[in-house]
Chain A
Amino acid sequence: MSTHAMSPLRRIGGLPLMPERGTASVFELALLLICAALVVVRLPQNIQDVIILTYLWAGLALAWNIAGGYAGLISFGHAAFFGIGAYTSTILGVKAEITPWIGIWLGGLLSAACGTLLALICARLRGPFFILSTLAAAEVVRIGALNWAALTGGPEGLAILPVPSVGNMVFASKHAYAVLMLGYLVVVYVAAKFIEGSRYGYRLFAVRDDEDAASAAGINPLLMRASAMGISAFITGIGGSLFAQYFLYLDPTHVISPELSFQFALLPALGGLGSAIGPVLGSFAITPLSELLRSYLGHAAHGLHLAIYGGVVIVVMLYFPGGIAGVLERFNRVQRKDRR
């Protein structure tokens, strides 16, 4: 990721081989080609389901990483933003017959407003205090959604009519959903990549690494934290709406659970925090793995696939704290030394 990785051997056609800050790379383009190919190719339905989920979780992991990885705002409450987005577009669609193509943006904006508000409320809190506050805020949203039955349908949840039409954003073919999720992932990735290489991104990193030094250099930390949380919540809310359109059913226990919040945080942590490629690699490695383990081991022993997942989290965190992206970079650096 550093600037002195510019040796000619490490570039192909003017692009760096491995991901770098602020520029596209051969690695990323190749990954995009594979992703696009997986969308087009004819695959069994259950594999397509895994692909759709993998793209969606990758986008959501990227969204979390903008707050958690770039700005250092470790949130265990992102399921609230996900749920707010999902419920907004669904309620507008079911009760007011507003097409999800509009509802999605409104859901995202409402999530963004909540995210900004949460960052402002928790302005003074750091470390575990911030983490626990986000967890508590998400619980307030979950219990609220569970009990405000007139609006959310309460514990029974809300269903979207499974009538395929482009206007309703409900599709009969899995291909269409795969295209939708890949589109979401690509847009979010480009946005994350753009933030990473921009002045704004560097300000976020500065606030994350040393807040006092950053504010001495003229950066307003509160503005940075609130905006990063807002952007992150906006993208998460949109992801929630897409999830609702794909799943066609919502209930508070599944859409706003603490487990979901942990998932949003663990994917980027396993993939590597603080870079755009990390969360994507995290989702690409973990989502198919846990879906496959679930389908193969789920019947044999209830909970085994998640037990393995928990074990993987511990090992990766203790021995590869940089995640998958950290391992790639270390490998990259070793090669670079060999070439000299």
Chain B
Amino acid sequence: MTTVGQLVFSGILIGSIYALMSVGLTLVFGVLRVVNFAHGEFLMLAMYGAWAITRFLGLNPYIAIVAVVPAMFLFGMLVHRLMISPALDKPHLVVVFATMGLSILMQNVALMLMSADLFDVPPLLGGRSWTFGPLYAKPELVIGFLVAVACTVALQWMIKSTYLGKAIRATVQDGEAAQLMGIPVPRIFLITFAGGSALVGLAACIMTPLFSVFPTVGLNFVLIAFVVVVLGGMGSIEGALLGGICIGVVQSLSSYYIAPAYGQMFFFILFLLVMIFRPTGLLGQKGTANIGIND
């Protein structure tokens, strides 16, 4: 019983971190209706940033947030200006292949500059675990969970209550009407894309103490992020948290009871099952899966 409890507990914690890493992707998809295939490489870039700040300035990776998040916001703005925004009015394939090209480019520039070596950050608190009654958890995981929940709540509040959030929702509902009402739609797109990128930066700082960073680290995580986002319902922020936690629990239970090697296979199968039987995801809007990329 305690084993199951421990597995579910660890699954929830790791899953919330998957959710944090995916929320930027779901935000960008929800508003711009594009899938950023370079999302994993954004994560890789930000993880190198967090690692470098920890390694060379001797700072805690959580303090690196103040530098990495704004830097990733600017990087997102740059990518949007140069690539996403010019591709938005072209056939939808353009953005798919262009972001894929960006992913190849970033991965290999990282390989050139940093080599294929794995870089780590020393564990916090000397690697000791925190105990919660009968359950154990790494402090980095608990902090990640709290940040993920706080981030989801804050984003929800932002979307529901602030002027910017209302403008974003209006743009999603009807871009042309929003434009006519004086909402600067291109700027909303820019802020959303850059914001999604900044969220990846936040996730990277949380993940650096937990995972090694290497040039293809993004590929491992982007597949999980896609699964999380689709499972939760593309464009749904609370759905991403729920989807992430589901994936975390499935992964944790299946790697313990079946085989670690098959753990990943299970969540891809889960993904396909969700696509077959409930293509809108757990909390997505009806009919999303039947909409093309730019329609």
Contacts and interface: CB of A to CB of B under 8 A. Distances in A.
A314 interface: yes
A233 B90 CA distance: 28
A139 B108 contact: no
Interface in B58-114: 83, 86-87, 90-94, 96-98, 100-112
Contacts of B261: 143, 146-147
A317 B226 contact: no
A183 to B, nearest CB: 30
A137 B223 CA distance: 12
A310 B107 CA distance: 9
Contacts of A131: 35, 96
A16 interface: no
Contacts of A74: 93, 96
Interface residues of B, number: 54
B291 A143 contact: no
Chain A: interface size category: 35 or more
A317 B111 contact: no
A109 to B, nearest CB: 23
A48 interface: no
A265 interface: yes
A125 B226 contact: no
A127 interface: yes
Interface in B158-180: none
Nearest to A312: B101
B177 to A, nearest CB: 23
B196 interface: no
Interface stretch (A217-225, A240-248, A296-304): A296-304
B126 to A, nearest CB: 35
B279 A124 contact: yes
Nearest to A154: B261
A303 B108 contact: yes
Interface string B210-245: 000001000100010011001000100000000000
Interface of A: 74, 121-122, 124-129, 131-133, 135-137, 139-140, 143-144, 146-147, 258, 262, 265-266, 269, 273, 301-307, 309-314, 317-318, 321
20 contacts: A125-B275, A129-B230, A129-B275, A131-B96, A132-B230, A133-B271, A136-B272, A136-B275, A139-B268, A140-B268, A143-B261, A302-B116, A303-B108, A303-B109, A305-B108, A309-B104, A311-B105, A314-B98, A318-B90, A321-B94
